[in-house]
Structure 1
Amino acid sequence: MKKVLISTCLVALTVMTTQQVIAHGGATGVVKERMDLMEDMKDSVKAVSAIFKGETDYSADTIRKAAETIKTHSGDAMTKLFPEGSLSGHSEAKPLIWDEWQRFKLLSDRQVKLADGLFRAAENKETAVNINQSMMGSGGMMASSGSMMGSTKPMTDDPDTLAQMPSSRVFQMVADNCSSCHERYRIED
């Protein structure tokens, strides 16, 4: 019985490891670490997005949990996973990251502040905002949130200020910051 249990556990572990490698196209080392980090952040964004799209009930706890994940995965935690030249056939990073390192670092550091603001604004529910439309690029908050890409407006990234804003707007700023980085530094599938 013990041998069957151990064998079953080994098979399950092998299957899980194989699935992870396949999911990341065979990436290993620092490239896999950053893909895992990005996957965690993507899951967090999806959880909060579902709230503001009306797919799930409003939950300040879910927003805070997602914001904490995003915050701990941003800033230095993210940039340390992009040592210069860490490209492989599996990496989705563009070499432009290292040509524009200061800009890339600024986006990652800004995400820490935005996520902190989102964490603190989690209780600030505003039902009048139709975030679903703004997330699709119809203008609205996307145009006014202070995205890094092409905006001449000053960015509001002070966590104290963000804490006073509706959580939907702060979330939009987090999502815009993600998009700014991905549009410039990520190879699309």
Structure 2
Amino acid sequence: MKIQKIIGAGAIGLASIVAAYAHGGATGIVKERMEAMGTMSDVVKALLAMMRGETAYNADAVRDGAETIRRHAGEALTGLFPEGSGGEPSEAKAEVWSNWDEFSALAAQLETLSEGLGLAADNGLMSGSGGQAQGGMMGGGTGMMGSANTMMGGTAPMMGRGGSFDAAALAAMPADGVFNMIAQSCSACHTKFRLEKN
């Protein structure tokens, strides 16, 4: 399925990016954030296998994983990036601090998306396996995102005022759809704010 390929590509990229955070002699806050990234990477890998149908779908495990990500997102995430904590062995770009508003917004978005994933866990997968989600949730085949401001082509708003995601609306989506959005959010943040290692 196309959605599984999208999820797979996004999440595999995310998992490899996060896994690349080798501690490399890091101490203090830099080590703490690398450990937090490693924890999220482990969760993403476990959830990816479920979302791709490689392991049995387990709504409780999805909820637990979503909660782990949520605990490491938002202010918990931004708190791991105090001013002056860049430079080796950190892989954070200077843009984290020079574009703090965008970085903070992405961290907050991850928190909302992970909350939404926990709420959507009982919906199962878009294909209908593992839960109640059926193809009809796609809003007539308009694509996962549908129009820019509606959930899956339907009438329920996915985004609240100011362009932020609405966890209650995400709760109506299939879990793999929300998981894909998490993977895309993390990937976008890493692309903009993480140094590439050779």
Structure 1 position 45 matched with structure 2 position 44: yes
> Does residue 70 of structure 2 align to residue 71 of structure 1?
yes
Which shifted more, 83-92 or 22-31? 22-31
Give yes or no for contact 1:142–1:176 (8 Å, CA) kept in 2.
Answer: no
Percent identity, please: 48
Q: Write out the 4+ residue segments of structure 1 that deviate beyond 2 Å after TM superposition.
A: 126-129, 140-146, 153-156
The reply on whether 1:185 has 2:193 as its aligned counterpart is yes
Q: How far is 1:127 from its partner?
A: 4.5
SS in 1 for 2:81: coil
The number of residues matched between the two structures is: 152
TM-score by length of 2: 0.70
Q: Which residue of 1 aligns with 2:171?
A: 163
> Which structure has the greater CA radius of gyration?
1
Task: Provide the C-alpha distance between the structure 2 equivalents of 1:40 and 1:165, rounded to a whole number of angstroms.
Answer: 25
Structure 1: unaligned runs, 5 residues or longer: 1-21, 130-139, 147-152
State yes or no: 1:172 paired with 2:180: yes
1:107 maps to 2:115: no
Give the residue type in structure 1 aligned to 2:171: A
Q: Is the 8 A contact 1:75 1:108 kept in 2?
A: yes
Deviations 1:101-133 (A, max 9, x none): 00000000111111000000001113428xxxx
**Residue 95 of structure 2 corresponds to residue 96 of structure 1:** yes
What is the Cα deviation at residue 88 of structure 1? 3.0
Report if aligned partners of 1:63, 1:118 keep a CA contact under 8 Å in 2. yes
- Aligned 8 A contact 2:126 2:174 in 1: no
CA contact (8 A) 1:68 1:119 kept: yes
Q: Provide structure 2 residue ranges, at least 5 long, that are not aligned to the other structure.
A: 1-20, 129-142, 150-157
2:76 & 2:28 partners in 1: Cα distance?
15
Give the direction of change, closer, same or farther, for the CA distance of 1:144–1:50 in structure 2 (3 Å limit). Answer: farther
TM-score with structure 1 setting the length: 0.74
Q: In 1, are the aligned partners of 2:126 and 2:175 still within 8 Å (CA)?
A: no
1:156 Cα offset (Å): 6.4
Q: Is the 8 A contact 1:145 1:173 kept in 2?
A: no
Contact 2:93 2:194 in 1 (8 A): yes
Q: Distance in 2 between matches of 1:33 and 1:101?
A: 19
Partner of 1:35: 34
Letter in 2 for 1:54: G
